[in-house]
Structure 1
Amino acid sequence: MTVTTKSGTPAPASTRGTSTRGTQTRGGSPFAPPRLAERARELAQNPEDWLHRVRLDPQGRWYERIHQDADHEIWVISWLPGQSTGFHDHGDSAGAFAVALGALEEHRVRAVREVGAGQARSFGPDYVHDVRNTSAAPAVSVHVYSPPLSSMRRYDVDAEGALVQLASESAEDW
């Protein structure tokens, strides 16, 4: 298992004792988004395996990859009030995140959804969102991606509400 940490965003938890096999999805994901959400929710509800790793960083989201194999990876992310991802996608990876502590908001170009502790969101490849902690308290979330992230694109929203790509990142950047 590879563990990487970077100040600014949390990472995934252990996969002890749980099968994650599923069906192949567009983008090469061996796990369908609902299965990824189930796995993220399981991990978020059992923080004893990863909570000791979490750090709160006033400079930006903290994150740590807690599991990676050929099929998927898991990250744990901590969020102080006001921290956000900015609009981004996950390249060819499907994904899901579940809130373990606190609450987050998921922003799409024309929609906002609150995600509270124990709740999860899942998505397919090329899904664009901005996840934010708009509450007054810290939050912690668990993220599962399949296949493991290889690229991400960052976006802005123009005056007409259209996404404009700003940058592209590869896994080596994290």
Structure 2
Amino acid sequence: MTLTTKLENVLDSLISPTKTELKNALLQLDITVNDLASLPEPFEGKPYNRKLLYKNKEVEMLVMNWSQLECAPHDHGDSHGWIQVLSGTSLNTVYEISQNGLPTELFHEFHHKGKIYFAPKKGIHKMKASNETDLVTLHLYSPPITGMKVYDLEKCAACVVSDD
């Protein structure tokens, strides 16, 4: 069975999936780095490169290959989902919105190969590869991400990422 067929068999049946249904789908897929042909290489000077594996009106699945640079703090709009570490170690920093409307760091945590962690609606975080590891992560969100907000803490600004 091809990866595309496997994804369709599991993800096509999801309708407005709950947190638990999304996690169960991710676990059922049981995807490893070996299942992913031609991983996207991180771009020079960029935190990651990503590849869309599957998308319909209800869910989207991405694989991301990370450099040692961290991404900017961001949310996932009105989407929620799960992030699975397929290889390496992730440093994930979690934020809350302060009174000035900008994120303030709450804590950071390391996630090693095999870890699955939740990304709530409007939850703000940033990630990067840690410990000089080759970080590859799998992301399953519902609904597909729109209205993602990215924060520039140096400029005290935020922008909404265009869907196109």
Shorter-chain TM band: 0.7 to 0.9
| Unmatched segments (≥5 aa) in structure 1 | 1-13, 24-29, 159-163
Q: Distance in 2 between matches of 1:125 and 1:76?
A: 20
Q: CA deviation at 1:21?
A: 5.3
The answer on whether the counterparts of 1:45 and 1:118 sit within 8 Å (CA) in structure 2 is no
Number of the residue aligned with 1:120: 116
The answer on whether the counterparts of 1:44 and 1:100 sit within 8 Å (CA) in structure 2 is no
The answer on whether the counterparts of 2:84 and 2:137 sit within 8 Å (CA) in structure 1 is yes
Number of the residue aligned with 2:139: 143
Amino acid across the alignment from 2:163: A
Number of the residue aligned with 1:99: 85
The answer on whether the counterparts of 1:156 and 1:165 sit within 8 Å (CA) in structure 2 is yes
Find the structure with the greater CA-based Rg: 2
Number of the residue aligned with 1:169: 161
Percent identity, aligned pairs only, is: 18
Residues 62-101 of structure 1, C-alpha deviation per residue, up to 9 Å, x if partnerless? 1010100111000000012x22221000111111110001
Q: Distance in 1 between matches of 2:146 and 2:33?
A: 26
The answer on whether the counterparts of 1:44 and 1:118 sit within 8 Å (CA) in structure 2 is no
| Unmatched segments (≥5 aa) in structure 2 | 1-5, 95-104
Asked if 1:111 is matched to 2:107, the reply is: yes
- The TM-score with structure 2 as length reference comes to 0.76
Q: Single out whichever of 41-50 and 67-76 deviates more from structure 2.
A: 41-50
Q: CA deviation at 1:128?
A: 0.5
Assess, with a 3 A threshold, how the Cα gap between structure 1 residues 117 and 41 changes in structure 2: closer, same or farther.
Answer: farther
- The TM-score with structure 1 as length reference comes to 0.73
The answer on whether the counterparts of 1:33 and 1:123 sit within 8 Å (CA) in structure 2 is no
Q: Distance in 2 between matches of 1:168 and 1:156?
A: 11
- The equivalences for 1:37-116 within 5 A come to 37-43=23-29, 45-60=31-46, 61-80=48-67, 82-108=68-94, 109-116=105-112
| RMSD (Å), alpha carbons | 2.6
Aligned residues: 148
Residues 89-132 of structure 1, C-alpha deviation per residue, up to 9 Å, x if partnerless? 01111111100011101101211111111111112210100111
Q: CA deviation at 1:45?
A: 4.0
Indicate the SS of the match to 2:73.
Answer: coil
